Amino acid sequence: MNLDIRTPIGLLFLSLGGLLVIYGCFSDPGIYFRSLNININLWWGLALLVFGGIMTYFGRRKTKLRPSSTP
């Protein structure tokens, strides 16, 4: 089996990060008053997208570099 655990974890973080970025872009700016007007959802969504992209990249890179075990 060539499934690396980093691939599904990366896809999970990519999807959650995408949802947070979309919510951060279209949400009411008034809800960020308590966080000093910093769009927390947008920034954490971008961080999750970067982390998910790195995990997915390394998971797929490992499966591509592994030689096939079938003769």
The ranges assigned to domains in the chain are 7-62
Of 7-16, 25-34, 39-48, 59-68, minimum mean pLDDT range: 59-68
Contact of 17 with 49, CB cutoff 8 Å? yes
Question: pLDDT digits over 36-61, tens only?
Answer: 999 999 999 999 999 999 999 998 88
CB atoms within 10 A of CB 25: 11
Q: How many CB atoms lie within 10 A of CB 65?
A: 7
Q: Is the pLDDT of residue 63 over 60?
A: no
Please give the Cα distance from 41 to 16 (Å, whole number): 11
